Amino acid sequence: MSGESGAASAGSVAADEPEASAGPARETAADSASPAGDVPADGPAVEPRRRLPILALFAAQFFSLAGNAIALIAIPIIALQQTGSPLAAGVAGVFATVPLVIGGALGGVLVDRFGYRLSSIVADVASGVTVIAIPILAATIGLHFGVLLALVFLGGLLDPPGDTAKTVLVPDLAALARMPLARAAGVQSTVQRTASMIGAGIAGVAVALAGPMPALVFDAAGFLVSAALVLAFVPSAAAARSSSPAEALDDSGAASGADSPEPEATKGGFVAGIRFMLHSPLLLAVVLLVTLTNAIDAAGITVLKPVYATEVLGEAGLLGGMVACFAAGALTGSAVFGWVGHRRSGRGLFATCFMLAGAPPYLAMAAGVPLPVLLAVLLCSGLAAGMLNPMIATAMYRQVPDGMRARVFGAMTAGVAASMPLGALVGGFAVEQVGLTPTLIGAGCLYLVLGASPLFIRAFAGLAAAAGGTAVTAADDDAPVDAARRGADAERSRSAASDPREPAERDYSR
């Protein structure tokens, strides 16, 4: 979720892991929700795994995020080329990140209202249109800096709903594929890191050979391919959440209201997502930490690294190489977590990864190390960063029930993006006022302090508990939902009273 380290009921466990299915706490939504009349006397029929939908979703995320990685390189360079000012690059970063807050605030509500699949398709198509408009205008009537900022703003506004829609589909499609949830989160993060690595590499080559404008053509193409994959291969969210295995594996996905969640899912909107988050100590602690580190990351990717590549290294295209090395390390870290993350996690590993992911690159740039050494540092930091997002995503999947996911994830997206505009602006201002090297030193030291904080904050102990549970499903989401909504009306008060514990004592790390 952080700016570089980007940006997730299901959780059904694979059949070859029988120990994970023992006990009522492991009961899946399909098992608990099916009426007795729908299940034959000798038990439900065993259906083959359905892997294509989640593979198509991962492929769609790959093309969409690869395009975003290209824009991440191209836009700051365009701003620097047009103005020659680090502060102008920071302003461009503000226009790229403010919409993430707005889109995150509204995106979850819109996704709940119009459906996960449809929201993903529409957001990708619209994002592709705004991106391709930049090189078209530059090649025809000219591109004023103000117009560039407007298009960057519109593109950023459309990203959060599309990303949220894809993220909340993962647990349901993992259930169809009978993929352990921690593994699905790890694979998703691996896809994200691969996309960042390849997208940054494409951007670096394109910028070096043809300039930043042609690179944006690849960005737009990635969005269109992503929309086509979701349209063709991903079933509706309702089909994935069917009340029986047979229905969940139905190819048609044409049930009534398949693309639109029930009206109850949209009640409370963004405020309900915030309320739920505030009642989960772990989610709140993660959001606060990532919000602070995202401010540093926003300054780094929109100002500090572009200025370092252009002024210190002397080649703007090397920014793509820097980002690609970080992403290559993160890809390896994500892959490692995908295989072992469901066995080993916790706040010690989380804090260690945070410190190693953020501080070393800034301190290495401040020290003026040779380019090969800097690339090696970025690779190692990426390795640590690659484990962060799947750890966070797994905790989110475990804690948030299906009916709340889009709203909670939207609220979290808005929360962690809230500091990014300020970070980009302060980064540009600091470089112009005190210079690049002091700003890099300050960023690295601050990242070390923030990264170590999970070791001393009790709420992060929930990471270990979240690593051992299953996703919250429609059948077992009463406790956290009631805690988030308690006092809203008498009906929910009666539902909350059915839990023998007081609301304040309920376990938020299920």
Tokens (6 digits) for 104: 């995150």
* Residue 243 to residues 9, 38, 184, 238, 331, Cα–Cα distance (Å): 10, 9, 21, 9, 35
Of 407, 471, 470, 480, whose CA–CA distance to 164 is shortest?
407
CATH 1.10.3720.10 fits 50-237+265-476, yes or no: no
Predicted pLDDT at 345 = 58
Task: Read off the amino acid at residue 268.
Answer: G
CA atoms of 492 and 268, how far apart (whole Å): 14
Q: What's this model's pTM, rounded to 2 decimal places?
A: 0.65
Encode pLDDT of 277-326 as tens digits. 888 888 888 889 988 998 999 899 889 999 999 889 888 888 888 988 99
End-to-end CA distance of the chain: 21
Predicted pLDDT at 104 = 66
CB 4 within 8 A of CB 358: no
CA atoms of 7 and 397, how far apart (whole Å): 15
Positions of the chain with pLDDT lower than 70, given as ranges? 1-48, 104-105, 107-108, 237-270, 338, 340-345, 402-403, 462, 464-510
Tokens (6 digits) for 371: 């380019």
3-state secondary structure 2-42: CCCCCCCCCCCCCCCCHHHHCCHHHCCHHHHHCCHHHCCCC
CB 394 within 8 A of CB 345: yes
CB 432 within 8 A of CB 87: yes
CB 366 within 8 A of CB 444: yes
Predicted pLDDT at 401 = 76
CB 132 within 8 A of CB 231: no
Predicted pLDDT at 269 = 63
The residue assigned the tokens 């938020």 is 508
486 φ/ψ angles, rounded to the nearest 5 degrees = -60, 145
Encode pLDDT of 377-415 as tens digits. 999 999 888 888 778 877 777 777 766 777 787 778 777
Of 25, 52, 487, whose CA–CA distance to 233 is shortest?
52
- Residue ranges of the alpha helices (H) in 84-144? 86-114, 116-139
> Phi/psi zone of residue 191: left (φ > 0), alpha (ψ -120 to 50 degrees), beta?
alpha
